[in-house]
Amino acid sequence: MASSPFMAGSSSSTVIAHWRDFIALTKPRVMTLVVFTGLCGLLAAPAHIHPVLAFTAILCIALGAGAAATLNQWYEADIDAKMKRTANRPLPAGRMDRQSALHFGVGLSFFSVLLMGVATNWLAAAVLAVSILFYVFVYTIWLKPRTTQNIVIGGAAGAFPPVIGWAAVTGDIGALPVALFMLTFFWTPPHFWALALFVKTDYAAANIPMLPVVSGEVATRRQIWFYTAIMAVAAMAPVLLRLTGLIYGVVALLGTGLFVVFAFQVFRRRESDSSRMGPERRLFKYSILYLFLLFGAVVVDRWVLA
């Protein structure tokens, strides 16, 4: 126990971490969807970019998101140690010292933003910087330990990638990436609170004021339903505003319809069901597929109907 590097005297004790632990710090599974939404923002833009520059822009989004995730874990090592889901991460498990994680996170942040600026443009680099800073300072450090609305406001960080992808190609920010930002922004509460309903005890153990812990399950189910309704409007907005075409319209209508059904099942249930496929788990898993589908449809729409 005394050798756990984030505990007493942690910053001076050095553990030689395996490269796999550095990868783990970047939360690669979560980042697949972050990178995908960034890629779709880039591919939906009405401009051409050299494939090498496009690849570099997406790499920068991946590295920036990974840097933000690393700094989140650097800051939260003690919290992660208290939750079953996160206790085996490199820092709480003692496979890496905090200083290495800090250097890695800060270095990657600067590298991703500077490379983005040099390779594409400084607007894309600035938005990337804002999303990293937002995730680390606004969400992780400021809101997460303080308010049940932490993920609503803090979730904005995860909604920036389509804006960054678009800006990397065009040098500006159009109506479509703003609409995609809104979609991801209002998608985040049902995505996260569905999960929080079945890992509630974890957050209670770590003393994090997540909505189900503080306000209870009924209030959480109501809020999931509320944000799903707004998300449904945001999902249909691109086609109603003629920013996308019919392919997106059909995918968004069917996909959102199913989302609404699953969210309603979560809303109607009064007691928790932590079975393998209870409504909360189903909504959480579907939320991920849903965002992949809608963002993919934006690109198919643009390339097929172009």
Ligand X SMILES: CC(C)=CCC/C(C)=C/CC/C(C)=C/COP(=O)(O)OP(=O)(O)O
Between CA 81 and CA 93 the distance in angstroms is 7
**Which of 131, 184, 220, 228: binder of ligand X (CB under 6 A)?**
131
Binds 29: which of ligand HEM, ligand X, none (CB < 5-8 Å by kind): ligand HEM
| Region binding ligand HEM by CB under 6 A among candidate stretches 26-34, 54-62, 244-252, 267-275 | 26-34
Between CA 83 and CA 233 the distance in angstroms is 35
Q: How far is CA 247 from the centre of its chain?
A: 25
Q: Least distance from C-beta 209 to ligand X, angstroms?
A: 12
| Residue window 68-87: x/- pattern of binding to ligand X, with contact defined by CB under 6 A | x---x---x---------x-
Instruction: Show the tokens assigned to 184.
Output: 């991801």
Q: Least distance from C-beta 245 to ligand X, angstroms?
A: 28
Rounded to 10 degrees, the C-alpha dihedral 126/109/74/90 comes to: 130
Binds 295: which of ligand HEM, ligand X, none (CB < 5-8 Å by kind): none
**Which of 112, 148, 188, 228: binder of ligand HEM (CB under 6 A)?**
188
| Region binding ligand HEM by CB under 6 A among candidate stretches 147-155, 232-240, 243-251, 298-306 | 147-155
Q: Is 210 in the site for ligand HEM (CB under 6 A)?
A: no
Between CA 9 and CA 1 the distance in angstroms is 13
Q: Is 158 in the site for ligand X (CB under 6 A)?
A: yes
Residues 32-51 that bind ligand X (CB under 6 A): 34
CA angle 12, 62, 121 (to 5 degrees): 110
Between CA 179 and CA 299 the distance in angstroms is 14
Q: Is 268 in the site for ligand HEM (CB under 6 A)?
A: no
Q: What is the DSSP letter of 186?
A: H
**Other Cβ atoms within 10 Å of 241 Cβ, number:** 11
**Which of 75, 134, 166, 192: binder of ligand HEM (CB under 6 A)?**
192
End-to-end CA distance of the chain, in Å? Answer: 60
Nearer to ligand X, 94 or 105 (CB): 105
Do 204 and 223 meet the contact criterion of CB atoms below 8 Å apart?
no
Q: Least distance from C-beta 27 to ligand HEM, angstroms?
A: 6
Please report where in the chains the tokens 């945001």 appear, as a residue: 234
Q: Is 7 in the site for ligand HEM (CB under 6 A)?
A: no
Strands (E), the chain: none
Would you tell me which residues interact with ligand X (CB under 6 A)? 27, 30, 34, 61, 64-65, 68, 72, 76, 86, 128, 131-132, 135, 144, 157-158, 160-161
